[in-house]
Amino acid sequence: MRFEDKVVCVTGAGRGIGFALAEAFAKEGAKVVILEVNEETGAAAAEKLGATFIALDVTDTRAVQQTVAAIVEQFERIDIWINNAGIAHKALAVDLTPEQWDQDIAVMLSGPFYCAQQVGRVMIEQGSGNVINIASVNGLFAQKARGPYCSAKAGLIMLTKVLASEWAEHGVRVNAVAPGVIMTDLVQESFDSGLMSPQKINSRTPMGRPGEMNEVVESVLFLANDDEASFMTGEVLRVDGGWTAYHLFYPFEEAF
């Protein structure tokens, strides 16, 4: 029960890694708030975990402000905020529409900034807090046909470092986790449809397999723990089976 009575908020927690994170914190005794733009999946996830659900579009600055205020009013504090909401369009740069670019940047870079800005004010006032951003190895290395996704995740990594630098003196830590290919339901669907090749992913990854969701979850739990990671801020923790370490020796795009 490492997080007993801690108020933990997770964006995009209706499914996938976000839900797995919410579930793990709930099992550790946290008061979990599921923030999800899809009201159906968000409400179902909250009911399953006995958590609080609030519908939130992270790209809506007014909604973010109101949501943070509502959480503070209900729980009186926010201890951990995880920016996990994501979206991805796959297309070569010359074929991308402005709407696709804008949507990816809005959800995965602007949204985390709006959320962090509002929750950061709360955490600075209370003198403690922890923001964790779910980045990606795509924020560290380029991949063809992933221009907006790579750009958003790279920006999120730099935002993590800037906020960590600004808020450390106030007792607020800001870190990021950068997963490689993780076996979420979306990745499984990509394997099944032929959009991604499991054989190529396995051969590209030094550990010879995709990651499991619990491996990302445990990394986040570590960073969130004020005892275990008390002197860590501005860190980008790669959970990728050696993917980025091996980058220079194998073309990234050949894994897809």
Whether residue 159 contacts residue 116, with contact meaning beta carbons closer than 8 Å, is answered with: yes
Q: Is 218 inside any structural domain?
A: yes
CA dihedral 24, 30, 35, 41 (to 10 degrees): 50
User: Considering its fold, how many domains does the chain have in total?
Assistant: 1
Reported as a single tens digit per residue, the pLDDT across 191-202 is: 888 878 889 889
Q: Is 202 inside any structural domain?
A: no
Reported as a single tens digit per residue, the pLDDT across 160-214 is: 999 999 999 999 999 999 999 999 887 888 888 887 888 988 988 999 999 999 9
At 211, list the tokens.
């990651």
Q: Is 193 inside any structural domain?
A: no
Range of the domain at 98: 7-184+212-249
- The more confident residue out of 62 and 88 is 62
Q: Is 206 inside any structural domain?
A: no
> Which domain CATH number covers 85?
3.40.50.720
Closest Cα to residue 54, out of 63, 83, 62, 103?
A: 63
Q: What is the DSSP letter of 36?
A: E
Closest Cα to residue 110, out of 45, 154, 61?
A: 61
Reported as a single tens digit per residue, the pLDDT across 13-25 is: 999 999 999 999 9
Q: Is 1 inside any structural domain?
A: no
Q: Is 56 inside any structural domain?
A: yes
Per the annotation, the verdict on 149 as an active-site residue is yes
Tokens 């009575």, located at residue: 5
C-alpha span between 96 and 201 (Å, rounded): 25
Tell whether pTM > 0.85.
yes
Q: Is 133 inside any structural domain?
A: yes
Q: Which of 114, 149, 246, 250 is catalytic?
A: 149
Q: Is 43 inside any structural domain?
A: yes
